[in-house]
């Protein structure tokens, strides 16, 4: 599944006809977001959601300012007042593809301008920038009950992506629920405060008794890349360096883990939990990647990692964990299904940039 699921957060957007693109662009010129835009971005978002997400947007903006070449953050002004924004991240190796792509996290327009076409102008500006960078696709998600957003995507060139979004309640696995560890060579998922500590977990979990799990560290990057290379046959060092930065720096709390055997890392799970209103923890966690060294397949390593992650999330009072996997990754899909994941009410979308 390599992803980033569940990351899409949306405010109302507007626009009516694809053929009006040039007029919309002229009407709403865009510019890069800057640090001084943060409070206005939070205000626009909260006008739609009814709550402030200061921590979420602060961490996203800090990450973009630190590594601007990995992000496209756009704003749209009227009379020197920011009235709309779009946040997108540039990625390589995401969704099991070797081609670079973009995933946009959030888009918002002032409530008085939701039918003005500003949302379309922001998205079209993103597409032009990506085309210049040689990036061929934009990925995102939306809840299928969000009809205005679905209509917006349908009218701006998006189609359903060939992937599955799965989720389950973030309650601990029990011994009798354990399925065989089927995360094999083709089974890579996807292709602050530290709450990933395992010392206070409930006793009696069979897989975790057999496989030692600990918090992910920055120094684990070479081991992650090595395991991935064993599975994929490719070097995804840049991808995992970016994911490590997300897991340790951008996530509201640290929950990612590695599994060890004989003092060697033999598997890992990378997950994120964001801060929301008043820096409270959001009730949804995102499972980005789970991989097991092929030599340790069928040794309960994947199950132990997932079990420990769920136990930690439950202790944090996280309600749901969500993940996304490519439709072709049957082993991954089956592993998650056997461990209580079901299809989410969110839909994955993709738009070709041409």
pTM here is 0.78
Reading the block at residue 296, the tokens are 């340790």
pLDDT tens track, the chain, 354 positions: 432 333 333 343 443 333 444 444 458 999 999 999 999 999 999 998 888 888 889 888 888 888 888 899 999 999 999 999 999 999 876 655 567 889 988 899 999 999 999 999 999 999 999 999 999 999 999 999 989 889 999 998 999 999 899 999 999 886 444 444 444 433 444 443 444 444 444 433 555 567 899 999 999 999 999 999 998 888 888 889 888 888 887 776 889 999 999 889 999 999 988 766 555 667 889 998 899 999 998 888 999 999 999 999 999 999 999 999 887 777 888 889 989 999 999 999 999 997
SS3 337: helix
Closest by Cα among 161, 81, 75 to 119: 75
Taking the C-alpha atoms of residue 109 and residue 26, their distance in angstroms, rounded to an integer, is 17
Domains in the chain with CATH codes: 9-161 (3.40.630.30), 165-345 (3.40.630.30)
Closest CA to 73 of 90, 85, 56: 85
130: Cβ–Cβ under 8 A, 6 or more apart, which residues?
Answer: 72, 102, 136, 138, 353
Long-range pairs for 41-48 at CB < 8 Å and ≥24 separation?
41/75, 41/82, 41/85, 41/108, 44/11, 44/82, 44/83, 44/84, 44/85, 44/108, 44/109, 44/110, 45/9, 45/11, 45/106, 45/108, 47/11, 47/110, 47/111, 48/11, 48/12, 48/108, 48/111
Structure tokens at 122: 């922001």
CA nearest to 228, candidates 148, 174, 154, 292: 292
């Amino acid at each position: 599944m390599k992803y980033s699921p569940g990351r899409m957060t949306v405010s109302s957007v507007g626009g009516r006809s694809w053929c009006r693109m040039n007029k919309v662009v002229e009407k709403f010129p865009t510019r890069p977001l800057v640090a001084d835009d943060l409070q206005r971005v939070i205000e626009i978002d909260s006008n739609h959601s009814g709550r402030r997400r200061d921590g979420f947007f602060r961490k996203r903006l800090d990450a973009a300012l630190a590594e601007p070449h990995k992000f496209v953050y756009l704003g749209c002004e009227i009379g020197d007042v920011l009235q709309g924004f779009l946040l997108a991240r540039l990625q390589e190796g995401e969704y099991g593809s070797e081609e670079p792509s973009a995933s946009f996290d959030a888009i918002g327009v002032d409530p008085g301008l939701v039918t003005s076409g500003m949302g379309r102008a922001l998205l079209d500006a993103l597409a032009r920038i990506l085309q210049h960078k040689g990036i061929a696709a934009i990925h995102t998600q939306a809840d299928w009950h969000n009809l205005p957003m679905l209509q917006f995507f349908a009218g701006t060139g998006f189609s359903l992506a060939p992937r599955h979004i799965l989720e389950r309640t973030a309650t601990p696995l029990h011994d009798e629920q354990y399925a065989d560890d089927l995360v094999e060579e083709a089974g890579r998922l996807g292709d602050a405060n530290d709450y990933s500590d395992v010392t206070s977990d409930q006793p009696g979990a069979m897989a975790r008794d057999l496989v030692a799990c600990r918090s992910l560290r920055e120094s684990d990057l070479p081991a992650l890349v090595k395991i991935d290379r064993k599975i994929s046959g490719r070097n995804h060092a840049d991808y995992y360096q970016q994911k490590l930065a997300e897991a340790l720096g951008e996530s509201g709390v640290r929950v990612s883990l590695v599994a060890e055997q004989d003092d060697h890392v033999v598997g890992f799970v990378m997950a994120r939990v964001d801060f929301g209103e008043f820096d409270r923890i959001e009730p949804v966690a995102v499972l980005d990647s789970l991989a097991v060294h092929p030599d340790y397949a069928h040794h309960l390593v994947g199950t132990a990692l997932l079990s420990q992650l769920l136990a930690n999330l439950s202790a944090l009072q996280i309600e749901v964990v969500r993940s996304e996997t490519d439709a072709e990754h049957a082993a991954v899909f089956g592993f998650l299904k056997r461990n209580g994941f079901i299809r989410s009410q969110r839909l994955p979308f993709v738009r070709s940039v041409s």
